Amino acid sequence: MYPLRKLLAILGFTMMVLPFANAQSRYWIQLTDKRGTTFDPNTYFDRVQHEVAGDSTNFPLNESYLQQIKKVTGNIGRTSRWLNAVALSANKRELKALAKLPFVKDITPITGNYVHAEFDDHTNGSSDKLTEIYDILNRQTQRMGARYFTLMDSSIVINGKGIRIAVFDGGFPGVNTQEVFSHIRNENRIIATWDFTKNNENVYRGISHGTNVLSCIAGIHEGTAMGMATGAEFLLAITEVNSEPFSEEENWLAAVEWAHKNGADIISSSLGYTFNRYFPTDMDGKKTFVARAATLAARKGMLVINAAGNDGDSDWKVLGTPADADSILTVGGVSPDNNLHIDFSSYGPTADGRMKPNVSAFGKAVVAKPKGGVQIAYGTSFATPLISGFVACAWQINRNKSAMEMLKLIEQSGDLYPYFDYAHGYGVPQANFFIDSLKEPESTFDLYEDDTYYNVFVPAGYVKLLSGYNTTILFYNIENEKGVLTEYGAVRVYQEKALSLFKKSFKKGYKLNIKYLNYSGTFNLGDKEEVGPTKVVMHQ
């Protein structure tokens, strides 16, 4: 029987949000088992890959259980094979009846609203704006070293060919007509589409956000690639609709399973769920159904890439869900102007202390407009597809690697790796990591201590007084004995004495990690005895 204590808590929640006994709210009903169900992968999957034979999460739900539930509530909504759950609407009386069913394992309320992880900046067509557009357009892929993929081998075109990318969003108007996408249409590389809000195949409607996002993966504007995966295949899904505030997470779960069924290698999602639905303490990768589904997708061999969110300058500040999921690539934003964290990009870590975001890309990008032309837009929504395009290219030349292996390689390709922090992750991925045999970097700094401070000194030859986005930056963090960052920052290096840190900031087991001009150093400082001025030896 369903635990009474848990049921009372759920009923209390229902009474808080719904004052009438007969009023209905939305719930996920998780079931105990799939007894008696069968599954044929040959008829279910469009193409079978990355699959573990006999994986029970692919089996359908028990139809008898669903019919018994429907007798109680009069309705059933979307079902999730992976989570063995059904979404539905129920009132207080119906919840009590559901809780008595022997095959009901758990009941979870579905609440609140969603946010797209983006801000729009519509161009006014001025010459200054056009200059900025073409500047950013050229740099949004080159910042990740796109040219290295083109130089690798003249006999191989590295553009994501053979990689299938599922994109979840609120609409794709113009993708069927806009010139930016003509190369995709002409080669029939939109493999499948589905609108989960209307249950039909027409996705060329709705808000333009999905159109913007797709252009950052694979668009070509006047001969310039807007994203790196111009040769990839696509699955396009509408999962969001403003008029149905309870349905978006249900649709996202359904879309993940649909993408799996249709052979997706990568899922690119620029959506997030935060306040009005959850608390920051819920962002632990386990609380929400979408985070659990994203983790399952990773275990099934897909690489899920999700925006960190745009709450960095709001009261919420931290990433949303499913960006908190384990084993997925969460993307933060950096500014094209200075290569540092862009102010609105949400921060890590997760509520349970895991490092997020994993990597970053431009949070200000050039995107396609539905009726033609391009514009500048802001948000981790656009950093995410830029990374998705990069991953498709890297995976194209590493097809023997699993999704988890690729995730680790993408992290290692970050221009800050092995340094990380909760604003930039491991930095912006670099194509030359996958192409070159990288040389051992030369030391670019030393650490000295006196009675009060640890001082980072940069040799005169490495103090580069550059302007604009090329200004040289030294990154540092202080890591405690549990691997949690207690402090991190980025400083511009204008003089040899680049940084001073109070020795009192370091307790037993603490480490100082530094990254400057491709050189990284880790110093174990918390266990040191007090000494006079001396050079500190790096930990190997």
Q: At what angle do helices 403-412 and 380-396 cross, to 10 degrees?
A: 110
> Do 390 and 531 fall into the same domain?
no
Domain membership of residue 26 as a residue range: 4-110
Cβ-proximal residues to 372 (8 Å cutoff; 6+ apart), any chain: 174, 178, 179
Cα pseudo-dihedral 271, 273, 274, 278, rounded to 10: -170
Residue 73 lies in a domain: yes
Closest CA to 390 of 423, 398, 259, 301: 398
Classified as helix, coil or strand, 382 is helix
Regarding whether 352 and 259 lie in a shared domain, the answer is yes
| Annotation says 221 is catalytic | no
Each of the 540 residues of the chain gets a pLDDT tens digit; together they read 344 334 434 444 343 344 444 567 889 899 999 898 888 777 777 765 655 556 788 899 999 999 999 999 999 988 989 889 999 999 999 999 999 999 999 998 886 555 555 555 444 455 558 899 999 999 999 999 999 887 665 667 899 999 999 999 999 999 999 999 999 999 999 999 999 999 999 999 999 999 999 999 999 999 999 999 999 999 999 998 764 444 677 888 999 999 999 999 999 998 887 766 788 898 899 888 889 999 999 999 999 999 999 999 988 899 999 999 999 999 999 999 999 999 999 999 999 999 999 999 999 999 999 999 999 999 999 999 999 999 999 999 999 999 999 999 999 999 999 999 999 999 999 999 998 766 678 899 999 999 899 999 999 888 876 544 445 899 999 999 999 999 999 999 988 999 999 988 888 889 999 999 889 999 988 665 544 445 555 544
**Residue 28, beta-bridge partner list:** 87, 108
> Is 285 within a domain?
yes
Residue 528 lies in a domain: yes
Q: Which of 116, 209, 221, 260 is catalytic?
A: 209
| Judgement on whether residues 382 and 275 belong to the same structural domain of the protein | yes
Decide: residue 66, CB within 10 A, 0-12 exposed, 13-18 middle, 19+ buried.
middle
Active site residue: 106, 169, 284, 311, which one?
169
CATH code of residue 106: 3.30.70
Whether 63 and 141 map to the same domain: the answer is no
Domain count, the chain: 3
CATH value at residue 501: 2.60.40
Q: Any idea what DSSP says for residue 146?
A: H
pTM (2 d.p.)? 0.85
- Greatest Cα-to-Cα distance within the chain, rounded to the nearest angstrom: 79
Query: Which of 86, 110, 134 is where one domain is finished?
Result: 110
Asked, for residue 440, whether it belongs to a domain, the answer is: no
Q: Say if 152 falls within a structural domain.
A: yes
Whether residue 485 sits in one domain with residue 425: no
Q: Is residue 60 part of a domain?
A: yes
Residue 349 lies in a domain: yes
Residue 421 appears among annotated catalytic residues:
no
Domain end call among 110, 132, 147: 110
3-state secondary structure of 166: strand
Active-site option among 80, 215, 381, 388: 381
Does one domain contain both 317 and 180? Answer: yes
Domain stop point among 110, 140, 172: 110
**Catalytic-residue membership of 209:** yes
Question: Residue 441 domain-assigned?
Answer: no
